[in-house]
Amino acid sequence: MESGKITPEQEVIGVLSGRSEKDPFVVFEELRKKGPVTPIPMTMGDSDNQVWIVTQMEEAKKVLKDNANFCVDSNTINKSSDTKQSLTNSSEETSSKLFLSNSLNALDEPDHRRLRRLVSKAFTPRYMESIRPRVQEIADDLLDQVQEQGEMDIVLDFAYKLPINVISDMIGVPKSQHEQIYEWSEAIANGLGLGRLDDEVADSLDSFSEYFKQLIDEKRKQPSNDLISELIVIEEEGDKLSEKELLSMVQLLIFAGHETTSNLISTGTLILLDSPKQLEMLKNDHSLIPNAVEELLRYHGPSTTAGPRYAIKDIELGGQQIKKGDVLFPLLKAANRDEEVFSNSEDLDVTRDINRHLAFGQGIHMCLGAPLARIEGDIAFTTLLKRMPNLKLSIPRKDVQWQFKLAAQGLSSLPVSF
Ligand code: HEM
């Protein structure tokens, strides 16, 4: 290697941790050219196993879908099924440990299947569609507050508020406490990152957990028409969510549904402002918006990578020999620009016929909230374009600031006039 020159393999570590200044899509393109699976000079914890990134669609899908060879919990690698601990049996842990390790996204089969089946009983397509009017109401309320001003910050006034209010509402958090949930969730998102947990975040995590423990208690005593009350009573074949599982699930729903969907709305708005022809098409035909949401998810989806996967055994993948215990990052944003799968993959095309993108992942861990995120995206862009058709950026384009949270790049602010 030439001294001083940063390789794409080094640069992508900066992209994953938010320290890279380079356009991530340029880095991904360089990496795709090298092959679908590339070793990177990164370590995970104390392990000296190789870390790989997976940048092309076919191989990324394989890692996400092949549960016999890849898992999300590194402990699964050496565990036999009879020693596998369920969440209910695990020893006492702090709120921060609980939050990070025991949720649906961090469990392998059979624990994952059990929890997902239970929670899916609440997340039915019919239920999702039924919340449309409420999402519309929340979107309209937010825009009512800024309509007269003729200007707003898309991030702070709209994109950050819509998903957190929607999910808080669904879960059963009283309206007066939505702001508090938003603040905790922001503090947590700002403090967490790939392989790091800042000390200050622990306090917010504790308050967040304490609040939900109490709320669950209240809902047990006095159930109402909300997700917590539903999750409390859901039972299948005599199986129920334990207290710990319920808490973990509620937190995950709040958390997973907030940052990601906010980024879809704010980054999506910027991308559309950057693409006047595409924006014009949407203004003229709102029926294109659901497809535009899919294209925005493909083109610049909120999650750079799925969670790390661990190889359960030695396996060949994309021409590389992966060893048992090695870590793989399926880079969703890189796979979504795979030129073998999408023609003119670097171009935004809201009329594109998209068969499948990876923005919500694939396989057993595929996003539980995808139908909700799609509804929110659809309503956010439709409402924005209907009510503010003259939307334009009110700062120079070069002054738009990006920020890095939770292994994902989003905007810190997007001032617009309308
Ligand atoms: C545009 C918005 C969203 C994006 C891009 C997104 C993306 C993702 C991705 C990529 C995964 C899979 C991660 C992996 O395989 O390691 C995932 C999982 C998950 N998402 Fe989302 N998500 C979004 C919105 C939501 C919403 C609104 C909710 C909840 C209401 C939610 C709840 C979850 C949950 C619970 C999981 C874990 C599923 C499992 O492990 O079985 N997400 N999401």
Q: What is the pLDDT of residues 8-34, one digit of tens each?
A: 999 999 898 888 888 999 999 999 999
Which percentage of the chain shows pLDDT scores above 90? Answer: 65
116 in ligand 1 pocket by Cβ < 6 Å? yes
Query: Structural domain tally of the chain?
Result: 1
264 in ligand 1 pocket by Cβ < 6 Å? yes
260, 305, 328: which to mutate for ligand 1, most atoms within 8 A of CB? 260
- Ligand 1 center from residue 136 Cα (angstroms): 22
User: Is residue 2 situated within a structural domain?
Assistant: no
303 in ligand 1 pocket by Cβ < 6 Å? yes
Nearest of 320, 332, 308 to residue 25 by alpha carbon: 332
307 in ligand 1 pocket by Cβ < 6 Å? yes
Q: Before 110, cis peptide (omega within 30)?
A: yes
3-state class of 358 per DSSP? Answer: coil
CATH code, 399 = 1.10.630.10
**pLDDT confidence band for 82 (50 / 70 / 90):** very low
In eight-state DSSP terms, residue 159 is I
63, 269, 367: which to mutate for ligand 1, most atoms within 8 A of CB? 367
Separation between Cα atoms, residue 167 and residue 171, nearest integer Å: 6
- How large is the average pLDDT for residues 146-168? 95
User: Is residue 61 situated within a structural domain?
Assistant: yes
For 270-294, what is each residue's pLDDT tens digit? 999 999 999 999 999 999 999 999 9
Separation between Cα atoms, residue 36 and residue 59, nearest integer Å: 7
Q: What is the pLDDT of residue 98?
A: 54
- How large is the average pLDDT for residues 222-234? 90
118 in ligand 1 pocket by Cβ < 6 Å? no
User: Is residue 113 situated within a structural domain?
Assistant: yes
191 in ligand 1 pocket by Cβ < 6 Å? no
The position carrying tokens 């092949």 is 66
User: Is residue 3 situated within a structural domain?
Assistant: no
Looking at ligand 1, which atom is closest to the CA of residue 374?
1
Q: At what angle do helices 370-387 and 132-147 cross, to 10 degrees?
A: 40
**pLDDT confidence band for 198 (50 / 70 / 90):** low
| Number of continuous H segments (helices) and E segments (strands) in the chain | 16, 16
Pick from 60-69, 91-100, 368-377: least confident: 91-100
Mean pLDDT value across the chain: 89
**Contacts of 57 by beta carbon, 8 Å cutoff, 6+ apart:** 335, 336, 338, 340, 341, 358
Separation between Cα atoms, residue 382 and residue 380, nearest integer Å: 6
Nearest of 219, 261, 209, 214 to residue 96 by alpha carbon: 209
User: Is residue 241 situated within a structural domain?
Assistant: yes
More confident residue, 404 or 75: 75
Pick from 84-93, 120-129, 143-152, 366-375: least confident: 84-93
360 in ligand 1 pocket by Cβ < 6 Å? yes
- Ligand 1 center from residue 331 Cα (angstroms): 15
Looking at ligand 1, which atom is closest to the CA of residue 332?
10
> Strand runs (DSSP E) across 142-280, as ranges?
151-153, 192-193, 196-197, 235-236, 239-240
- Ligand 1 center from residue 260 Cα (angstroms): 8
**pLDDT confidence band for 87 (50 / 70 / 90):** very low
User: Is residue 374 situated within a structural domain?
Assistant: yes
**Contacts of 279 by beta carbon, 8 Å cutoff, 6+ apart:** 272, 273
330 in ligand 1 pocket by Cβ < 6 Å? no
Whether 312 and 77 have beta carbons less than 8 Å apart is answered as yes
261 in ligand 1 pocket by Cβ < 6 Å? yes
168 in ligand 1 pocket by Cβ < 6 Å? no
Q: What is the pLDDT of residue 2?
A: 47
Which helix (H) or strand (E) element contains residue 65? helix 57-65
Q: Does the pLDDT value for residue 1 go beyond 90?
A: no
User: Is residue 180 situated within a structural domain?
Assistant: yes
Looking at ligand 1, which atom is closest to the CA of residue 363?
15
User: Is residue 233 situated within a structural domain?
Assistant: yes
Nearest of 328, 294, 303 to residue 66 by alpha carbon: 328
Beta bridge partners, 388, equal none
373 in ligand 1 pocket by Cβ < 6 Å? yes
Q: Which domain holds residue 345?
A: 8-417
Q: What is the pLDDT of residue 195?
A: 52
Separation between Cα atoms, residue 88 and residue 102, nearest integer Å: 10
